């Protein structure tokens, strides 16, 4: 599944990337115009030279304009205009759930981002579902058989999203009605609205929807028992989550941060922290998804 990304890049890059032999550990493929190709992952990073062998980044294949523009054409199905919304937010989601970050010359219209022209860099982040990544945390989510509203605190890159996805899958398969508000299309990796990753039998996904509005929409129409969302950061998100929790819906959400004290200072927390029943702090100490601390305040 990870390898399916090869279909989405320029033919020349396809040949080069064929040299990767540890797909299971690769997290990112970085294409920067006129600079070396970089493969990143848990192993660190490496490049691929012109003899299609792994090498130091400095000796790696130099990415050309042709590589980048062909890759974009393929990824966009030759329809750049169809991706305006995605490009404006800085990334697009591919058919098999991989996500691509885009940088280049940003075109503004009345102070707002309109488009990106002259794309100079692509960061292909490979989607992988790690089934069972939530196994450890699942026990913590219940207290005397009752599901707890949980705030997952973690710095970037500690497997928050993978974890949320697996939690959604497991709880949904256990019988909970789950709604995922997937503002950045990361959790379910929807393509044309349809989840590309397994999020469970009873999970509905609001894809690309702003969290605050999405939570209200879900409460109105989808009668969720559990709402899962990623990276709260805005006071409006906090208010909407509070609204949900007050009406008896459980919430599992993640936010960026190192510790509870760190998170406590944020604006949005004031709106809803008393309604969360526990916080779980993650780190990368023993690989992504290490549970650092579980704070129950119920």
Partner 1 sequence: MIICSSGLIGLIMANTYMTRPLNLYHLQLAIQLLETEINYARSSLPEACSRIAEQIKQPVASFFGEFAANLQSLESPTVIDAWNRALQILKEAGFLKEDLEIMAQLGNVLGQSDADDQIKHLSLLQNRLASAIKQAEQERDKNVRLWNYLGFCVGALVVLLLF
- Packing angle between helix 211-221 and helix 235-246, nearest 10 degrees? 20
Q: Which residue, 74 or 239, is less far from partner 1 as judged by CB?
A: 74
Which alpha helices (DSSP H) does 135-191 contain, by range? Answer: 135-138, 160-174
Looking at the Cβ atoms of 4 and 76, the one nearer to partner 1 is: 76
Residue 222: φ, ψ to 5°: -105, 5
Query: What is the spatial order of strands in the sheet that 203-207 belongs to?
Result: 203-207, 178-182, 226-229, 250-256, 150-154, 278-283, 290-296
Residues lying near partner 1 in the complex (CB under 8 A) are found at 10-11, 70, 73-74, 76-82, 84, 114-115
Judged by beta carbon, residue 87 or residue 228, the one nearer partner 1 is: 87
CB of 9 to partner 1, least distance (A): 9
Q: How far is the CB of 297 from partner 1 (least distance, A)?
A: 46
CB of 80 to partner 1, least distance (A): 6
Beta carbon nearer to partner 1, 75 or 228: 75
Indicate the residue among 117 and 246 with the shorter CB distance to partner 1. 117
Provide the CA 66 distance to its chain's centre, in angstroms.
Answer: 28
b/e map 132-162, b = 16+ CB within 10 Å: ebbeebeeebeeeeebbbbbbbbeeebbbbb
Spatial neighbors of 110 by CB under 8 A, at least 6 apart, are: none
Task: Give the shortest CB-110-to-partner 1 separation in angstroms.
Answer: 14
Whichever of 77 and 285 has its CB closer to partner 1, that residue is: 77
Distance (Å, rounded) from C-alpha 171 to C-alpha 215? 19
Least Å from the CB of residue 236 to partner 1: 27
Q: Is 169 helix (H, G, I), strand (E, B) or coil?
A: helix
Residue found under tokens 């692509």: 122
Smallest distance from the beta carbon of 32 to partner 1, in angstroms? 21
Minimal distance in Å, beta carbon 212 to partner 1?
A: 25
Which one, 89 or 278, has the nearer CB to partner 1? 89
Chain centroid, CA 97 distance in Å: 10
């Amino acid at each position: 599944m990870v390898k399916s990304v090869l279909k989405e890049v320029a033919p020349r890059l396809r040949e080069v990337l064929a040299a990767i032999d540890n797909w299971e550990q690769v997290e990112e493929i970085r294409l920067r115009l006129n600079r070396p190709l970089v493969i990143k992952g848990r192993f660190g990073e490496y490049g691929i030279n012109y003899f299609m062998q792994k090498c130091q980044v400095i000796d790696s294949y130099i990415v050309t304009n042709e590589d980048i523009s062909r890759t974009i054409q393929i990824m966009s199905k030759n329809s750049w205009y169809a991706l305006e919304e995605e490009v404006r937010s800085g990334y697009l989601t591919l058919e098999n759930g991989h996500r691509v970050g885009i940088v280049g010359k940003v075109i503004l219209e009345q102070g707002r981002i309109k488009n990106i022209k002259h794309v100079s860099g692509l960061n292909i982040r490979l989607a992988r579902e790690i089934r069972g990544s939530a196994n450890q945390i699942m026990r913590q989510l219940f207290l005397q058989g009752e599901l707890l509203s949980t705030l997952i605190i973690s710095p970037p890159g500690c497997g928050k999203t993978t974890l949320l996805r697996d939690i959604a899958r497991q709880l949904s398969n256990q019988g909970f009605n789950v709604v995922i508000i997937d503002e950045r299309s990361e959790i379910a990796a929807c393509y044309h609205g349809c989840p590309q990753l397994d999020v469970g039998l009873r999970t509905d996904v609001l894809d690309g929807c702003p969290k605050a509005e999405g939570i209200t929409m879900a409460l109105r129409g989808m009668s969720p028992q559990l709402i899962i969302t990623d990276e709260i950061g805005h006071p409006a998100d906090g208010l909407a989550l509070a609204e949900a929790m007050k009406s008896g819906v459980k919430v599992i959400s993640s936010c960026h941060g190192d510790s509870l004290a760190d998170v406590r200072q944020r604006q949005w927390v004031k709106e809803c922290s008393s309604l969360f029943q526990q916080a779980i702090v993650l780190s990368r100490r023993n690989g992504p998804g290490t549970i650092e601390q579980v704070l129950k305040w119920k």
